[in-house]
Amino acid sequence: PYVIVCNHQASLDLMGMVEFIPDRCVPIAKKELMYMGTVGWACWLSGIIFIDRHKREDAIDVIAQTARTMRRENVR
């Protein structure tokens, strides 16, 4: 398992990131994206893990749970 950190600055950057991100890779996004209409639905349906950046403890718990799952199931 590994983690890729990307800080894209525009919507078009996501299209480029999709080209080099390996299969079975699950992105983590800020929770605010979930409420952006069609983009939010697409993100949710594609399995993106959402974190609440305004609630630090909750964000840490989500990321820690994701890391445990990655190690346990040996997935990316």
Note the pLDDT tens digit of each residue in 1-59: 666 667 766 666 666 676 777 777 777 788 888 888 888 888 888 778 888 888 889 88
Closest CA to 18 of 53, 50, 59, 46: 46
pLDDT score recorded for residue 74: 75
Backbone angles phi, psi at 30, to 5 degrees: -70, 145
pTM: 0.61
Q: Is residue 46 part of a domain?
A: yes
Number of CB atoms found within 10 A of residue 19's CB = 6
Domain count, the chain: 1
Q: Is residue 26 part of a domain?
A: no
Q: Is residue 52 part of a domain?
A: yes
Q: What is the residue range of 54's domain?
A: 35-75
Residue 69 has pLDDT above 80, yes or no: yes
